[in-house]
Amino acid sequence: MKYTTSLMCSAVAAVALTVGTSVSADTIKIGASAPKSGPQAGAASAVYWPTLELWVHNVNEAGGLDVGGEKMMIELIAYDDKSQPDEAVKNIQRLTTQDKVDFLAAPYTTGLNLATAPLIARAGLPQIVATGNLNNLEPFVSKWPNTFWLLGRSSDLSTGIVGTLTEMREKGEVGSKVALVHVGDAFGLEMMAGGKPAFEEAGFEIVYESSYPLGTQDLAPVISSANASGADAFVAYSYPPDSFALTEQAQVQGFNPDVFYVGVGGALTGFGERFGNSVEGVMAMGGIDPTSEAYKTFREQQIEVTGVAPDYWANPVVYASMEILGAAIERVGSLDKATVISEIQTGSFVTVIGEVSFSDNIVEQVWNVGQWHDGTFYGVNAKGLKPAAEPFVKPAWSN
């Protein structure tokens, strides 16, 4: 069932304010399907929904998108996929056939993007993926040329921590023993497919390896086993709930390796708030240059408009995906889906994460490792980008 959110309210309110002016009240329907319930709801409420709300607000506040000389407002039609692929498929089916949306915001997470890709392609819509990736993207893009991947390949992210650890080992800052764990879904499996071989090739010894089902509540045994392994570094390809739970258990059990790395969620502002001073030195997937003016402006706007502080990775990437879509629509001057897809394939776009262009529908500049320092999350490793800071050995947990 479709629900009305502040996203819809922002769009409606903005249209109402333009009545009687020179701005047209015609709208562009943007569909969105992402978790509002289920195990991914917390993360989506932090890094997906508020950012869509901000984009809708900013576009409508500016009078809408200029489509061939006509200003068109944004109407967002949003559904809860309950963190389930089958629900996501139902939602995309409804959005494209019943609601007849003009465009979509790509779903949330790798699994849900993969599940819905055939339907989105059948509808002829661009799918600008901001929260998912794959190792073997080229065949996927060949099959679904309407898909675009802002986070690059899974291996771009999974091997970033390998590069960081290699750099630190060469400086004598960390040893070669690694405890490696992952969530047992499409994301975790993709990360392991690239990460584990990279660790082995770099000469690291995996002294403990484990997986756990999506939604696992008790991760104490994972940390206990990692602690007993004598690992110099702990690496988890985890989702937000897991990233929080693993970090909490590491503190409880006094597991304090030189490098403690978690996956998605470790870049959340809420992660830093939850662990306070203890977050110092913790590494996580993603990153940003938090000193960039574009990011600082974006951060201030999202807090002001939505009341939700953005994270230091996913929020700006989601926002960039919508900036790209909006810019492509304006450049071609129409809502013709094929023409918009062509523009995204060949164009270059100035976004909150910098200038973005796609090479065979894949971005080759990706932040992959960040680290908390003095309450801020800095990108310390990236593909094709200059790191915002140097990595360092994590100090002991603070009380």
Selection from 299, 204, 308, 320 nearest residue 261 by Cα: 204
| Other residues' Cβ atoms within 10 Å of the Cβ of residue 193 | 17
pLDDT at 215: 86
Task: Name 262's bridge partners.
Answer: 284
Q: Give the C-alpha separation, 15 to 170, whole Å.
A: 58
Span 44-102, pLDDT tens digits:
999 999 999 999 999 999 999 999 999 999 999 999 999 999 999 999 999 999 999 99
Average pLDDT estimate for 37-47: 92
The region of weakest confidence among 5-14, 138-147, 201-210, 264-273 is 5-14
Per DSSP, the residues of 353-386 read TEEEE-BTTB---EEEEEEEETTEEEEEEEESS-
Per DSSP, the residues of 205-250 read EEEEEEEE-TT----HHHHHHHHHTT-SEEEEE--HHHHHHHHHHH
| CATH architecture assignment, domain 6-153+291-366 | 3-Layer(aba) Sandwich (3.40)
Alpha-helical (H) ranges within the chain are 6-18, 41-47, 49-61, 85-97, 110-122, 137-143, 154-158, 160-170, 186-201, 220-228, 240-252, 269-275, 293-306, 314-332, 337-346
- 3 state SS of 283: strand
pLDDT at 399: 66
Span 306-358, pLDDT tens digits:
999 999 999 999 999 999 999 999 999 999 999 999 999 999 999 999 999 99
Contacts for 344 with CB less than 8 Å, ≥ 6 apart: 126, 128, 148, 324, 325, 328, 358
- pLDDT tops 80 at residue 6: no
Q: How high does pLDDT run on average in the chain?
A: 92
Contacts 24+ apart (CB under 8 A), 167-171: 167/391, 168/258, 168/259, 168/391, 168/393
- pLDDT tops 80 at residue 5: no
Hey, what are 141's tokens? 């893009």
Identity of the residue numbered 127: Q
Spans of all domains in the chain = 6-153+291-366, 156-288+367-383
Give the up-direction half-sphere exposure of residue 399: CA atoms within 13 A in the CB hemisphere.
1
Q: Give the C-alpha separation, 48 to 195, whole Å.
A: 26
Local confidence band at 121 (pLDDT 50, 70, 90 cut-offs)? very high
Query: Based on C-alpha coordinates, what's the Rg of the chain?
Result: 21
- pLDDT tops 70 at residue 10: no
Hey, what are 45's tokens? 């409420």
Contacts for 62 with CB less than 8 Å, ≥ 6 apart: none
Hey, what are 122's tokens? 């059948």
Q: Phi and psi for 241 in degrees, rounded to 5?
A: -60, -40
Is residue 77 within 8 A of residue 32, CB to CB? The reply is yes
- pLDDT tops 90 at residue 134: no
Superfamily of domain 156-288+367-383: Response regulator (3.40.50.2300)
Is residue 393 within 8 A of residue 281, CB to CB? The reply is yes
